């Protein structure tokens, strides 16, 4: 890991730990011990296993979407790719650092850069569409649970729909006006390479034009001839988010609380949307405060802090551990096969 990445990892973890300590200080009281005596470790273990299953759904999405474009990626390679993405996502706002890692790993699996970029960006679009659809379902079907959270729920859905509309607009430009995308990309490239030698700049610009062409062709394939990739992608996207949402309910049961399936469904949707915003590295602090505020409406204050700590261990700190393990595997691969 590079020095700058380590710095942001320490900042992200440090901020998260500081917020968690404050939450525990404010919520732990004499009743907490009684609640801790009701812990069921098997459900907490099941929460970890369900989270791993969530990552498997993500890996299958990558595998199927790549396969629809004609590239055969092994499941375990895809799974390691997803794990590696988790570490970068944990240290960047909106978890945006994971995208370059996934693109790089697809490229290493002989997927052209433009096609790899199309796959990864399409994943983001599918996530946005799934979250917007699930949020709309929650708004119209789970009306009581939704209203119990106040105005923040409406704001989060509004933000999600803006995100989806923006992604669809970018895809429209990529398909119908690739010349506009090339002009913007070239201007950005010229800005960052203004001190380079002219031959190097021209080489970069030619590479950009080529990869945008590949990206455009891949998007057209998804829309026209590789629709199965979109169908499989949406299926595994829905399974991914369903599994991720269920994990919180398993943690609640493990702590001796009711699963709050419907309430947790709505809360986890709002948190997922909130964590997509570029606010803090790995959404540290935002996730902890948001979860505490909303779950405190449904579970006793004496246990809500413990719940948030376990929830972040499963969905954040465990991700970092998986990411470090995966990075070691990649480093070993790169050094043995440069």
Share of the chain above pLDDT 70, in %: 83
Q: Is the pLDDT of residue 279 over 70?
A: no
Q: What is the pLDDT of residue 202?
A: 79
* DSSP structure class, residue 316: I
pLDDT interval class at 36 (50, 70, 90): confident
Share of the chain above pLDDT 90, in %: 24
Residues 6+ apart with CB under 8 A from 95: 89, 275, 276, 282, 283
Q: Using CA atoms, how far apart are residues 291 and 135, in angstroms rounded to an integer?
A: 17
User: What's the rounded mean pLDDT across residues 245-259?
Assistant: 92
pLDDT interval class at 188 (50, 70, 90): confident
pLDDT interval class at 2 (50, 70, 90): low
pLDDT interval class at 282 (50, 70, 90): low
Crossing angle of helices 301-312 and 286-295, in 10° steps, is: 140
Q: Is the pLDDT of residue 247 over 80?
A: yes
Encoding tokens for residue 24? 């525990």
User: What's the rounded mean pLDDT across residues 268-290?
Assistant: 75
74: left (phi over 0), alpha (psi -120 to 50) or beta: beta
User: What's the rounded mean pLDDT across residues 59-78?
Assistant: 93
Q: What is the pLDDT of residue 270?
A: 79
Q: Is the pLDDT of residue 152 over 70?
A: no
Q: Is the pLDDT of residue 173 over 80?
A: no
Q: Is the pLDDT of residue 149 over 60?
A: yes
How many separate domains does the chain show? 1
Encoding tokens for residue 308? 């948030």
Q: What is the pLDDT of residue 168?
A: 67
Encoding tokens for residue 328? 């070691």
Q: Is the pLDDT of residue 143 over 90?
A: no
Q: What is the pLDDT of residue 81?
A: 93
Of 82-86, 90-94, 180-184, 251-255, the one with minimum mean pLDDT is: 90-94
pTM of the predicted model as reported, rounded to 2 decimal places: 0.82
Q: Using CA atoms, how far apart are residues 204 and 190, in angstroms rounded to an integer?
A: 9
Domain assignment of residue 183, given as a range: 3-336
Residues 6+ apart with CB under 8 A from 153: 139, 146, 147, 266, 270
Q: Using CA atoms, how far apart are residues 298 and 307, in angstroms rounded to an integer?
A: 12
Of 338, 304, 329, nearest in space to 27 by CA: 304
Q: Which of 98-102, 130-134, 301-305, 330-334 has the highest mean pLDDT?
A: 301-305
Q: What is the pLDDT of residue 117?
A: 84
Q: Using CA atoms, how far apart are residues 104 and 66, in angstroms rounded to an integer?
A: 14
pLDDT interval class at 43 (50, 70, 90): very high
User: What's the rounded mean pLDDT across residues 170-198?
Assistant: 74
The more confident residue out of 79 and 92 is 79
Chain mean pLDDT for the chain: 82
Q: What is the pLDDT of residue 95?
A: 60
Torsion of CA 129, 131, 132, 138, to 10 degrees: 140
Q: Is the pLDDT of residue 307 over 70?
A: yes
Q: What is the pLDDT of residue 233?
A: 92
User: What percent of the residues of the chain are helix, what percent strand, and what percent coil, each to the nearest 5?
Assistant: 80, 0, 20
3-15 as b/e: b if 16+ CB within 10 A: eeeeebbeebbeb
Q: How far is CA 277 from CA 4, 68, 128, 141, 248, in A?
A: 22, 30, 12, 26, 21
């Amino acid at each position: 890991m590079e020095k700058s990445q380590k710095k942001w990892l320490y900042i992200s973890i440090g901020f998260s730990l500081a917020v968690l300590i404050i939450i525990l200080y404010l919520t732990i009281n004499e009743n907490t011990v009684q609640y801790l005596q009701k812990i069921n470790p098997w459900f907490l273990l099941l929460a970890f296993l369900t989270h791993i299953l969530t990552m498997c759904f993500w890996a299958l999405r990558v595998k199927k979407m790549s396969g629809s474009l004609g590239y055969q990626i092994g499941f375990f390679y895809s799974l390691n790719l997803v794990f590696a993405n988790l570490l970068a996502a944990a240290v960047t706002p909106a978890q945006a650092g994971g995208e370059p890692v996934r693109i790089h790993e697809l490229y290493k699996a002989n997927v052209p850069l433009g096609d790899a970029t199309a796959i990864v960006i399409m994943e983001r679009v599918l996530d946005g569409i799934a979250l917007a659809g699930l949020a709309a379902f929650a708004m119209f079907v789970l009306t009581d649970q939704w209203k119990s959270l106040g105005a923040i729920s409406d704001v989060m859905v509004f933000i999600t729909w803006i995100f989806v509309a923006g992604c669809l607009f970018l895809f429209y430009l990529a398909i119908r006006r690739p010349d506009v995308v090339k002009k913007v990309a070239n201007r950005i490239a010229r800005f960052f390479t203004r001190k380079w030698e002219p031959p190097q700049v021209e080489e970069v610009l030619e590479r950009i034009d080529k990869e945008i062409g590949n990206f455009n062709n891949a998007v057209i394939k998804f829309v026209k001839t590789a629709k199965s990739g979109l169908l499989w992608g949406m299926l595994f996207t829905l399974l991914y988010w369903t599994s991720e949402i269920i994990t919180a309910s398993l943690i609640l049961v493990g702590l001796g609380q009711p699963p709050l399936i419907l309430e947790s469904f709505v809360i986890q949707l709002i948190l997922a949307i909130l964590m997509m915003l570029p606010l803090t590295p790995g959404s540290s602090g935002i996730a902890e405060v948001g979860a505490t505020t909303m779950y405190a409406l449904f579970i006793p204050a004496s246990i809500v802090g413990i719940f948030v700590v376990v929830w972040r261990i499963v969905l954040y700190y465990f991700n970092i551990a998986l990411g470090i393990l995966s990075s070691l595997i990649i480093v070993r691969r790169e050094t043995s096969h440069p």
